[in-house]
Amino acid sequence: MATVTLGTKEIPGVIALFDVDDTLTPARRPISETMKKTLAQLRTKIAIGYVGGSDLIKQKEQIGEDVLDLFDYAFSENGLTAYKMGQQLTSQSFIGFFGEEKYQKLANFILRHIADLDIPRKRGTFIEFRNGMINVSPIGRNCSRKERNEFEAYDKIHNIRPKMITALKENFPDYGLIFSIGGQISFDIMPAGWDKTYCLRHIENENFKTIHFFGDKTFEGGNDYEIFTHPKITGHTVSSPDNTQRILSELFGI
């Protein structure tokens, strides 16, 4: 197959952006070969990109070491780290934006709050510092898959993450923070405007007439909500990678 570039799409002026977990892959699990083939077929028709909250290292774990070669656009950390045709674009920094003093006040509050939580299990890595955000996990990102599933079920009943977000909003009203719940065990904290809509800055001058977005957490408070409801977006709520493939088949005949 000939190399497909942005200028050789069958349907010019159209791009599809994808969330990663539970959209292209099962949560924190590898992508299937079937999905990879679907994306390769789709890429001949339109431009494609992914936009995920995790860093590039985690996205390589799920999608593959060749992740930057599979998409026209790759947006890690909501687009704070971005690539076009494998070439890195300008990036932003959470710590550069807030400064060390404000960050430490926030981190100390989070750790004290987690220390006082009465939950069935706590493991390790409660705060994961990323380039464009911080990821907070009350159970700790070092938990096992079984413990991850247990916490997700527990959180649905006891609202551990929503209550923690409420406490942060009350205690840091002047920080200009936004919060989004994604995945099973954590939530993201970032400056206002640094949600998944941030990635749109990188394509605003690319003359796309239609921008599709596919994501599973499109409800208010979910980490796909802001981009799903953006006026320039044609949004699609999905429930699984299989569901994503069915919708793509209906839309683009692949």
DSSP string, 107-170: HHHHHHHHHH---S---S--EEE-SS-EEE-SS-TT--HHHHHHHHHHHHHH-HHHHHHHHHHH
One-letter identity of residue 36: K
Annotation-wise, does 155 bind a ligand? no
d(CA 250, CA 254): 8
Candidates 19, 22, 55, 72; catalytic one: 19
242 annotated as a binding-site residue: no
Task: Please check if 246 is assigned to a binding site.
Answer: no
Q: Which of 213, 222, 215 is nearest to 184 (CA)?
A: 222
Which of 21, 22, 55, 72 is labelled catalytic?
21
How far apart (Å, rounded) are the C-alpha atoms in residues 201 and 204?
Answer: 5
Give the residue carrying structure tokens 């405007």. 193
Residue 57 CB-density burial (10 A; 0-12 exposed, 13-18 middle, 19+ buried): exposed
- Has 214 been labeled as part of a binding site? no
In DSSP terms, 222 is beta-bridged to 181
- Decide if 19 is catalytic: yes
55 marked as part of a ligand binding site: no
Let me know: does 194 contact 130? Beta carbons within 8 Å: no
- The verdict on whether 55 is a catalytic residue reads no
**141 assigned ligand-binding residue:** yes
Q: Given the DSSP bridges, would you call strands 14-18 and 177-182 parallel, antiparallel or unpaired? A: unpaired
CB atoms within 10 A of CB 214: 24
Has 118 been labeled as part of a binding site? no
Could you tell me which residues are annotated as the binding site for alpha-D-mannose 1-phosphate?
28, 130, 141, 148, 186, 188
Could you tell me which residues are annotated as the binding site for Mg(2+)?
19, 21, 216, 228
Residues forming the active site: 19, 21
Could you tell me which residues are annotated as the binding site?
19, 21, 28, 130, 141, 148, 186, 188, 216, 228
